[in-house]
Amino acid sequence: MDGEYQEVYIRNSRGVQLFTCRWLPFSSPKALVFLCHGYGMECSGFMRECGVRLANAGYAVFGIDYEGHGRSRGARCYIKKFENIVNDCNEFFKSICAEEEYRDKCRFLYGESMGGAVALLLHKKEPTFWNGAVLVAPMCKISEKVKPHPLVINVLTRVEEIIPKWKIVPTKDVIDSAFKDPVKREEIRSNKLIYQDKPRLKTALEMLRTSMSLEHTLHEQVRLPFFVLHGEADTVTDPEVSRALYEKASSADKTIKLYPGMWHGLTSGEPDGNVEIVFVDIITWLEKHTSDDNSVIVQPIHTYRNAILKMNTTASPPQTINKQHQQQSPRPVRTQSHRRYFCGLKGRRLQHHSAM
């Protein structure tokens, strides 16, 4: 099946230019999938395979680079308020859902790592709007054993408005520990749109606060159908985070699958055979949850306050999406354990891991 790739620039409510992209099947899409990328990452290059594979399967896929990320404007990888990311995604995603050709389609969120937190906060913002979410190694809880001491947080909070953009948070090279395949690892490292410097002070604090806030609302406010996937050998985000999400969430329809031996980059850093297995699982779950019975018509909503969607005049020409063979994989496992976990980002107490 062939498809089309497009790039569009928009302006958010704060007047910042943001980059968006989309992968569209030529036929009417089965449903809409909205990508939420991880910390420091971007959509057009890093998440291209995800967009292509889902479009090949018949889905319309939409991505946005957060402010300060990828090809969007703003201080590089500076998160002044995590809420800004959520609001920008919410406005853009809803503007797509309100288009006449998409108003009767099912709507799914897809979040990787920090993008998993964005997806969950979008659901929290409007609990009945989304038909489901795919969460890949999500950042939604932080381990007690790696959480900074309250006194440390207090000291950093006192200076965050004085030196908010300082790159003072120690970190190790996450690319080496996140992506198993050495060739893919180097391709990611050569992607200049991916932020590879130390996290900024305020950025790290905003991510910490978001994780801590989410962990206290998993039971009450996560109710949508979701599929959470995690590599058991992930050393960037703890796989027990996904188990905690699965066990605590109030969702009646929830599925978890842990992949033995796989690392953090399930869809982008594993050998091709493993990546194939993961995408077959994701598409199988989407197919199961895509039906006319699940769709809810979206009423027209306002456009962006300071801009209108505009095609990028310097964008790449539409690209042909080549059909790829998909092999069968074991059915996702639904676990029944009810143990309690306090888990999350792995690492030393004062060390920050870029949640990709």
d(CA 119, CA 224): 11
> Among candidates 26, 101, 111, 116, which has minimal Cα distance to 63?
111
At 55-88, the pLDDT tens digits run 999 999 999 999 999 999 999 999 999 999 999 9
Domain boundaries, the chain: 3-311
Contacts 24+ apart (CB under 8 A), 259-262: 259/229, 259/230, 259/231, 259/232, 260/232, 260/233, 261/231, 261/232, 261/233, 262/180, 262/231, 262/232, 262/233, 262/234
Of the ranges 122-131, 150-159, 338-347, which is most confident?
122-131
At 296-354, the pLDDT tens digits run 555 444 444 434 344 443 334 334 444 443 444 443 443 333 332 222 333 333 333 44
**% residues pLDDT > 70 (the chain):** 75
Name the catalytic one among 123, 264, 289, 352.
264
> Given this model, what pLDDT does residue 229 score?
97
Q: Is 293 a catalytic residue?
A: no
Q: Is 264 a catalytic residue?
A: yes
Q: Does domain 3-311 have CATH number 3.40.50.300?
A: no
Model confidence band, residue 27 (pLDDT cutoffs 50, 70, 90):
very high
Residues 151-156 have a mean pLDDT of 66
Q: Which amino acid type is present at position 238?
A: D
Name the catalytic one among 113, 211, 268, 354.
113
What is the per-residue DSSP string for 185-219? HHHHHT-TTS--SPPPHHHHHHHHHHHHHHHTTHH
Q: Please give the biggest Cα pair distance in the chain.
A: 56
**% residues pLDDT > 90 (the chain):** 61
Q: Is 289 a catalytic residue?
A: no
> Given this model, what pLDDT does residue 328 score?
41
Name the catalytic one among 65, 88, 181, 234.
234
At 243-254, the pLDDT tens digits run 989 999 999 999
Q: Is the model's pLDDT at 165 over the cut of 90?
A: no
Q: Is the model's pLDDT at 193 over the cut of 90?
A: yes
Q: Which amino acid type is present at position 244?
A: A
Q: Is the model's pLDDT at 156 over the cut of 50?
A: yes
